[in-house]
Chains A and B, each alone.
Chain A
């Protein structure tokens, strides 16, 4: 192994990427952990918003429907970067107003919490649309049957609508997860120490730009490819008992 590294002239690269302090590998991995933490939190937050948003869009009154329409349209038309800044400032302002209103000191919001709040709201708009489409694809008869059995709306949602819509929603949700992981990079611009910013700092202090950016790209790619495998399994699980399109067609 060592001789191979020497032969390829990569010993300097290995040194730079090593996990212990002279190398920057540890910083990169810590950044990746932060990125994943935010991505998972924002994704979960977005799914919750999306589920309620989709129900509101489908069953809500005219005002709720229009407000949700404004929310999804605005979030999908304004760059994430601008939304991140607006939501970040609004979030810290509101929180501080509430906190000082109760007579406490001003607080600094942690980067992770801010990232989850901001990206979660962005994700929520996309999730609303994905889940709305998936719920619409569930045959009406199934929901009517559940109602005829006397199930409460919540029970219908838990036992019928959500399981039945899963297979339609998974491809869109998989896509959303990939967007969530990539959007965490945008937090680098507001100075949060996730993978991309850690990489930039490592690169600019060692002047080895290609080494670090390619390494970070490799890490992101690993996350993407692994998620692809996981979501394929989840999709197969969600499609249990359904005929695949290929078998059904022609």
Chain B
């Protein structure tokens, strides 16, 4: 209700009307006749963007847990490599990482006959395994740092209480430590997932047809510049909004002690 009332301030009404007028003008005077022709391709690209986002976020997060744990409480021979990994991932551009894996590994693998004869070869010849690998590693590198803070942020008393209950170390981790760490990290994770969404169009540079690549193709085929890009921006904003709502819902599910 309050959001509705906030939209009713006089200057907001004027701005909303202006926006609607702008949208109407865009719809009326810009060229949208290419949409039916490219709709199927665009849906395919959208689906590809979304599954790459979901798969790499999940894989990256699973990898981030050990990375964070190693940095938070691990002995030096685990924490040092984990820290080096996070520094390298965070210190170099993602585009360079994607190209290193795709062009580098892609040119290395065919030199080994046993790889070419293996079951995996049909997959290794495609681009998406490299994209998924690079994006997962990148998400893990950024999240490893977040999880380090989240793991060290769990109150000591919680773990001591769990120990006093006679829980085994693994049970403590599963029931007490990890859930609370994730709860600590949730607000940051939401933002990082939106950043991951914004990183997905880079995979278009290694021949994967995601929604960004579809927009580029429309531009190249029809020489229409602004319309596909504007639509693309709106689509990304919509996905970012859905991610933000999803994480808000997730945060709302976690019971928080009233302070």
Contact = CB atoms under 8 A, between A and B. Distances in A.
Contact of B88 (A76, A82, A213, A217): A217
Contact of B103 (A63, A204, A225): A204
A82 B201 contact: yes
Interface in B102-135: 103-104, 107-108
A90 B225 CA distance: 10
Contacts of A204: 103
Contacts of A224: 87, 90-92
A196 B95 contact: yes
B236 A79 contact: yes
A55 interface: no
A34 interface: no
Interface stretch (A6-14, A19-27, A180-188): A180-188
Interface in B44-90: 87-88, 90
B91 A221 contact: yes
Given A77-B236, A86-B226, A217-B96, A203 B103 contact: yes
Chain A interface, >50% SS class: helix
Contact of B225 (A89, A199, A220): A89
A189 interface: yes
Nearest to B244: A77
A199 B95 CA distance: 12
A70 to B, nearest CB: 9
Nearest to A184: B93
B100 interface: yes
A182 B104 contact: no
Interface residues of B, number: 40
A83 B95 CA distance: 16
B100 A217 contact: yes
Interface in A68-95: 74, 76-83, 85-86, 89-90
Interface in A124-171: none
B229 A200 contact: no
Nearest to A210: B104
Contacts of A186: 93, 95, 202
B99 A81 contact: no
Given A66-B11, A79-B236, A85-B229, A213 B104 contact: yes
Interface string A209-221: 1100110110011
A196 B99 contact: yes
Interface string B221-233: 0000110011011
Contacts of B179: none
B93 A196 contact: yes
B241 interface: yes
B139 to A, nearest CB: 15
B9 interface: yes
Contacts of B198: 78-80
Contacts of B230: 86
Given A77-B237, A79-B198, A82-B229, A188 B95 contact: yes
Given A79-B212, A189-B202, 15 more contacts: A66-B12, A78-B240, A79-B200, A83-B233, A90-B226, A184-B93, A188-B95, A189-B95, A196-B93, A199-B99, A210-B100, A213-B100, A220-B92, A220-B93, A224-B92
11 contacts: A63-B11, A77-B236, A77-B237, A79-B200, A81-B202, A82-B215, A185-B94, A186-B202, A209-B103, A213-B103, A224-B87
